[in-house]
């Protein structure tokens, strides 16, 4: 995994702010207009470890909390890379 991967950037942004996964979980889920959970702590761990990619709704929420709209493009690039490797 390179330093520009989605998972690395996701984790680095959280660590840079000094947040735990639980703190990020709370901040992201506070954005829910329906009081519905957007992300879980377990999902955050999978995303940061590069095991899965978040759904679009979760990516948008993370981009908003981090004030990093480029996360959306990074997720799209990660999906394209996965598709290329699968072919």
Residue range 2-25, pLDDT digits in tens: 446 899 999 999 999 999 999 999
Q: What does the pLDDT look like over 39-86, one tens digit per residue?
A: 999 999 999 999 999 999 999 999 999 999 999 999 999 888 888 888
Rounded Cα distance between 56 and 50, Å, is 16
Q: Cα(40)–Cα(25) distance, rounded to whole angstroms?
A: 6
Q: How far apart are CA 3 and CA 1, in angstroms?
A: 7
Do you know the residue count of the chain? 87
State pTM to two decimals. Answer: 0.87
């Amino acid at each position: 995994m390179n330093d520009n991967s989605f998972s690395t950037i996701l984790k680095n942004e959280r660590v840079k702010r000094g947040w735990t996964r639980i703190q990020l979980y709370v901040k992201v889920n506070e954005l829910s207009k329906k009081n519905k959970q957007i992300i879980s702590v377990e999902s955050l761990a999978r995303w940061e470890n590069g095991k899965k990619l978040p759904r679009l709704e979760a990516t948008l929420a993370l981009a908003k909390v981090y004030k990093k709209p480029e996360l959306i493009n990074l997720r799209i690039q990660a999906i394209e890379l996965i598709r290329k490797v699968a072919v």
